[in-house]
Structures are given as C-alpha cells and as structure tokens.
Amino acid sequence: MATIEEIIEQVRSYNPKADFEVINRAYEFAEKAHEGQTRLSGDPYITHPLEAARILADLEMDSASIAAGLLHDVVEDHDVDIEQIEREFGDEIARLVDGVTKLKLADFEVSVPEAEKSDGQKKKHAEHRRSAENLRKIFLAMAKDLRVMVIKLADRLHNMMTLSALPPERQQKVAMETVQIFAPLAHRLGIWKIKWELEDLAFKHLQPEEYATVAEKVARTRGDRETDLEEAVEIINRRLKEEGVEAAIQARPKHLYSIYNKMLREGVDFGEIYDLSALRIIVNTVADCYHALGVVHDQWMPIPDRFDDHIAKPKSNMYQSLHTKVIGPRGEPLEIQIRTWDMHRMAEFGIAAHWRYKEQAQTSDEFERKMSWLRQQLFDWQADMRDANEFLRSVIEDLFTDQVFVFTPRGDVVDLPAGSTPVDFAYRIHSDVGNHCVGAKVNGRIVPLSHKFNNGDIVEIISRSNSQPSLDWLSFVKTSHARNRIKGFFRKIHFADSVARGRELIEREIERLGSDAQNLLRPEKLAKVAQGLNLQSEEDVLAAIGFGHVAAGTVINKLKAEEQPADTLIVSNKQQTAGAVVLDGMDRVSIKRSRCCAPVPGDEVIGYVTRGKGMALHRTGCPNAIAFRQNEPDRLVEVQWSQVDGDRYQADIKIEALDRVGLLNDISAIFSATNTNIYSARIKSMPDKRAVLELTVDVRDVKHLNELMTSVGRLSDILKIERIASHHAGKVK
C-alpha cells in the first residue's frame, strides 16, 4: 500500500512547486472520515483513496486533483457535505470532489423496491436506465472539468485491481462496464497508461480461461522475443549513434487484451502473431524523429502501407508519433514508434499531461483549443438525448467505435466514427451547416453526401440557405448527433402543424360554447394549464390538443374553472349493474362507448340517448357529439365518467416514426414496463423511410394513455404520436 509520504515525494519529483500542505491536509481529513471502515477485501478503507492518489501521481497530475482523489469518497460514505469540503479546501477541490462523487456508474448497487425484486426484467431495465443516467452525468462533469474523468479513471483502476473481493456476478458487471465505457474513455482522452491496464484487468474477469491461455502463451515465448528485441535494440542503437542522434530505445510488449482482439479480428492462432512486441525510439527533437525514421528504413525493409505520420497529422486526443512496421533482423515483422520526450509523455498521460504545466503557470491555449472538440461533443449529446437509454446507445456508437480523422480547409482535425460521411461532418461543425448542406468536396473533388471518409481527407461543405435535410440521409449517416439533428428537424415540422391544429380545434370549441376565445386563450392562463398538465409551455398545450393527447374540452374547462365551475351529473361506475347505469330522472339504460371516438375514463364525455340502444358516451370534441348538440340537444346528458379499479378500455394510437431495425421492440418494451397489453398492431413501412404503426392498447384511463404516449414520444425516432378513433370500442366494462 502506498503511503502519503511516498505520494508527496513522487509529486515533488515532477513538480517541486506543488501545494504539499493541501495534499497532506486532504489525507488527514480522509483518514479521519474513513476511520474504522474496511473494504470488502478486509483492507482499511483509506487504502483505496491512497491508491487512487498514487495513480494520479503516476500520471503527474496537479495537487488539486491528488487532494480530490484522496477525498473522493468522503461525501458519499460519511456525514460530510460539499459545503464542508469547500470551507476546508476551497472551491476548486470541492468542485472536483462533487463531480467525482456524482459519477457512480457501476460503483453502486441499484436500489430496486422489494416488490420488484422477483421481476428480473424490471430490475434489469432499472439498472440499465440508472447506468445510462449516470453516464450522462459523467459527460456533463467532464465537459466542465476534464480532471473529473481522470480522477474517476484512477478510482476505477484501483477498484479493478481489487475486483476479486466482489461476488462473481458483480465482478462481471463492473468488468463489462470497464471494457465498454472506461477503457475507451481513457483511450479517447489519450491516457494509454490507464487504458491498457483497465482492458487487461477486465479481460481477466470477463474471460478468465481465454486470459489464462493468452498469458501462458505469451510467458512461454517471452525468452525468444526478448532475445530478438535485444538484437534489434543493439543494431538500431549503434546506427543512431553513428548518425549522431541521441535516443532512448524501449521494448514495448503488447498487452494481453490487444493480442486476444487481434486473434479474433484476423482469425489467426497465437502462433501466427509475430508482432507481440514493438520498439519505441524516444529522441529530443522533431527533426531527430524523421532522422531516426530514415535510419530505421535504411537498416530494415519497411512493409508497404504500414507507415503513419501522427506528428504531421496528430490525433484529436493530441497523440503524436511516427509509426512504421519493418521486416526485423530475423525476418519477422517489427513495429517501431518514434517520438520526442514531450510526445511520449502526452502519449502515456494524454490530457493528464496538461495540468502539471498549468500548475507551474505554463498554460497552453493550444491544449484548450484542441480539447474544445470534446467539450462541444459532450454538450451536443446532452442537448440531443431526451431518453437515457438512447443517450447510452449514442455514446457507445459515437465515442467508443473506431475513428477516422479528417481536416477542415483551415487544417483543424475533426474525428468521427469510421464510416462517417459529409453530412456527419457538417452537423459536427454546426447544426445550421448540416441543415443547409447540399454537397461536399473531399480533397478538392465533388463527392456524394453518402461518401465515406478516409483518414487525412480534407473536407469542405457546400450549403444553401433555402435547403433542408432529407429523410434519406438517415440511411447513411453514422453519428448519433447527425441522426438526432435530422430527426429533430422533422419533429419540429410536425410539432408546428400540431400547434396550428390544436389552436383551430380549441377556438372552434370555444366558439361553439359561446365563450370569448381572446379572453380564455391568454398566454398566462394557458401557462397555468400547461403547468397543471405537466407541460412546458402554452404551445405544448396546443400541440397536445392537436396530437389528441388532451381534449380541447378538458383544456377549456380548466381555463374556465375559476370563473364558471362545471355543473355536471356524475355517472359513477359504482352504480353499474350488468352494464347499466341508473341516471337521475331516467330509467336504467345501457351504457356503451361510441366507436367513433372511443372515450376512456378521464376524458371529457357527454351522453347521447339513442333510439332503443341505450346511451352512447362520446368525447366532447367528437364530430358526432358536436352534430348532436346542433340537431338533437334534448338527447344529450352532461356526465362525468369515473373509472373502476381494475377495468381496462381499448384505445387506438397512431405512431409515425423513422423506420429502423428494433423500433417495434423499443416501443413494445415501454408497454411491457407498465404492464400494458397491446390488443392489436397494424404496421406499415413507407417509401420515404417512415414507419406508421396503429396500435390498439388496453388502458385504465386517459392519464394512463397519456403517460404511455409521452413515454413512446421520448424515443428519438418518433416523429408523431396521436390518439385516433378506435374500431374496437365496446360496452363499458
């Protein structure tokens, strides 16, 4: 176990000007807070924050980060609040501790109500949603201060080192999230030193047999490889000295997870992998890098198409190095990386390399400019994703897939998922550029918008102010950001149509009732109704009417509630016997739901006394009910329909969505989660890449129906969802 004295000495070795007093005070505070607490491994709990701080010191982080690493669990586990941390250690450290405290992706057990613990599907859904919500917090915290993620990675690395103390099922869950989220994050932030350790530790727990096999084979052949590498190092060292190039040469073994992935990717056995190790040549200047490259290629035959110049074209995470592969001294492939010492530090520590210089007042505007792409992407994800699970899927698609690096005409690097197109590039630059994109030039040549980029392409977007997105773009765009911006554009069009339709419906109903539309539809009154309906604005109220989520009569009654309380007769289901209701002043009559508008409890309804067939319930906004008011008003009875617990009523909804694989499964999952039966479904794929679904569902009341429609409407592929007339309306149950 590391000691605080060792950590302070380590910090002193790379930053003599660090604030050692605050580091020491943070340790004393954490030690007192964790006194008497142990980890599942049996070790004193203070060993965890100490090891996290040691890992941060290995990354040469600033003193604020190391202090926050020591304090990162005191708020979560003890009666300590952020305000106390701020009083003791200042605003900067308090913000870092607060950011890390909130990032609990897999470091907690999801709390599920006892009644649900027997239902595995609900528990799994709750866990997945909680993880997605916490991933959203991770990226929001990162966007504000990237050090939060570095501290979180140090915390996760030590947890992975002690993972065997957890139950097997929990080990699998934590290891899977590590390899799917945290290791790729370390990669994108350029922190290679953390990335490979996380991957190997996750590999060990997720696939222990495969891990043991690869480790055993690597160990068995290590002696031969070391002999080969020693020979190669001796040769290249001698040649560089002859050329007057001062260099340090390191042998770099490949980590086990990368070896295993290569075996899977290329479909080869372990014995067919020859580049299990690589040489790294570290020199003093950029000029020496290219000089050393010439020496290497003069000594050994380079393998065609296996050279990358990441010095001239750095990766977006600021990684720089020359990569080449040659036929080595014994006729086998040999990978060689060539870089300066500064490049080496950036390659190992990534963004963590920045804060030591910042603390020493050597600020880097270039660093901030290069990292702005990540912050912007994080905020874009926050704006795009309404649903947590959709957010999780988009992050994995965008952030954790293979990347392609292209350039703007000004030379700025833009990284995109492999397979991205000019439309993806346009939306990455700005939403308006994407919405008005009509064409693109790649390396000076006009290309189709579906063109897939290669590394190093120079991209120029052609736009026109009167153009707009096409639904066809959804068939080839790669990034979730572009996909969601295109979907959002078409959702706004449907929203505007629904607002206009809702305004027309409510004005018509107000006119029919002889009320003053100008007075009732004042913005402040609609805003109060919106709040009561849990909607954001008055436009949302009108859109809900246009979509059919809320009846115009319901809104009018709420608008008139204080001025003119409704005087209605209550028809309670408690009076029902064999499908009949006793009404005041009337004989017992049979009550049926009309087929034309299929009302459900909670709707504003009116009773129409038919000729010999009892009473039919209509929604007040139903065209037939409006006609009855004009032609047969004496047959109408004002009623309010109450619901009986346990009764279900069929209602029809129509969904317009962007067609994709798995759409119906995602929609069905929402109904399953609320134990709602889908009575029937009619699905049609349209030529313009839309899908139209007409579903008949069993609901308790209008509130239940509206909640379902709202949940489905949150899916990013949904363009429009509305309630329609039912063909299955029957007798009131």
CA distance linking residue 156 with residue 194, whole number of Å: 10
In this structure, what is the dihedral angle of CA atoms 392, 397, 401, 404, given to the nearest 10 degrees? -130
First to last CA, the chain: 69
Of 128 and 450, more confident: 450
Q: What is the pLDDT of residue 368?
A: 55
228-287: pLDDT as tens digits: 788 888 999 999 999 999 999 988 777 888 888 877 877 777 666 656 678 899 999 999
Comparing C-alpha atoms, which of 257, 247, 239, 242 is closest to residue 195? 257
pTM for this predicted structure: 0.56
Instruction: Answer yes or no: are the C-beta atoms of 593 and 727 closer than 8 Å.
Output: no
Q: What is the pLDDT of residue 507?
A: 81
Coil, strand or helix at 512: helix
Torsion over CA: 534, 536, 541, 543 (sign)? negative
Of 440 and 508, more confident: 440
Q: What is the pLDDT of residue 156?
A: 92
Kindly report which listed range (115-124, 189-198, 224-233, 293-302) carries the lowest average pLDDT score: 115-124
Task: Categorize the per-residue pLDDT at 421 as very low, low, confident or very high, splitting at 50, 70 and 90.
Answer: very high
376-380, 458-462, 479-483, 693-697: which is most confident: 458-462
Strand 308-309 relative to strand 580-581, pairing: unpaired
Comparing C-alpha atoms, which of 134, 127, 138, 144 is closest to residue 185? 138
pLDDT(577) > 50: no
Residue 65 to residues 59, 308, 452, 478, 702, Cα–Cα distance (Å): 11, 34, 41, 36, 52
678-687: pLDDT as tens digits: 878 888 888 7
Task: Categorize the per-residue pLDDT at 52 as very low, low, confident or very high, splitting at 50, 70 and 90.
Answer: very high
- Sequence-separated (6 or more) residues with CB below 8 Å from residue 352: 59, 60, 61, 150, 189, 191
Kindly report which listed range (33-37, 333-337, 625-629, 722-726) carries the lowest average pLDDT score: 722-726
- Sequence-separated (6 or more) residues with CB below 8 Å from residue 638: 567, 568, 569, 606, 607
pLDDT(361) > 70: no
Phi, psi (5° rounding) for residue 23?
A: -65, -45
Token couple for 360: 């020493």
Mean pLDDT of 119-144: 55
Mean pLDDT of 327-350: 85
Instruction: Answer yes or no: are the C-beta atoms of 596 and 623 closer than 8 Å.
Output: yes
pLDDT(696) > 60: yes
CA distance linking residue 135 with residue 233, whole number of Å: 44
Kindly report which listed range (284-288, 410-414, 547-551) carries the lowest average pLDDT score: 547-551
Which uninterrupted H or E stretch holds 322?
strand 322-327
Strand arrangement, sheet containing 445-447:
445-447, 437-442, 459-463
pLDDT(697) > 90: no
In this structure, what is the dihedral angle of CA atoms 59, 62, 64, 66, given to the nearest 10 degrees? 30
CA distance linking residue 63 with residue 358, whole number of Å: 11
**Residues of the chain above pLDDT 70, percent:** 78
Kindly report which listed range (60-74, 257-271, 578-592, 640-654) carries the lowest average pLDDT score: 578-592
Q: How far is CA 219 from the centre of its chain?
A: 39
147-199: pLDDT as tens digits: 888 898 999 999 999 998 888 888 888 898 888 778 877 887 778 889 889 99
Kindly report which listed range (382-386, 585-589, 633-637) carries the lowest average pLDDT score: 585-589
Alpha helices in 632-694 (DSSP H): 663-673
Torsion over CA: 473, 476, 478, 480 (sign)? positive
**How many other C-beta atoms are found inside a 10 Å radius of the C-beta of residue 597?**
25
CA distance linking residue 385 with residue 133, whole number of Å: 11
Coil, strand or helix at 301: coil
Of 453 and 386, more confident: 453
Q: What is the pLDDT of residue 301?
A: 92
Q: What is the pLDDT of residue 70?
A: 93
pLDDT(422) > 90: yes
Comparing C-alpha atoms, which of 353, 350, 305 is closest to residue 326? 305
- Sequence-separated (6 or more) residues with CB below 8 Å from residue 5: none
Which uninterrupted H or E stretch holds 542?
helix 538-547
Average pLDDT, the chain: 78
| 242 burial level (CB within 10 Å; 0-12, 13-18, 19+) | exposed
Active site residues: 76-77
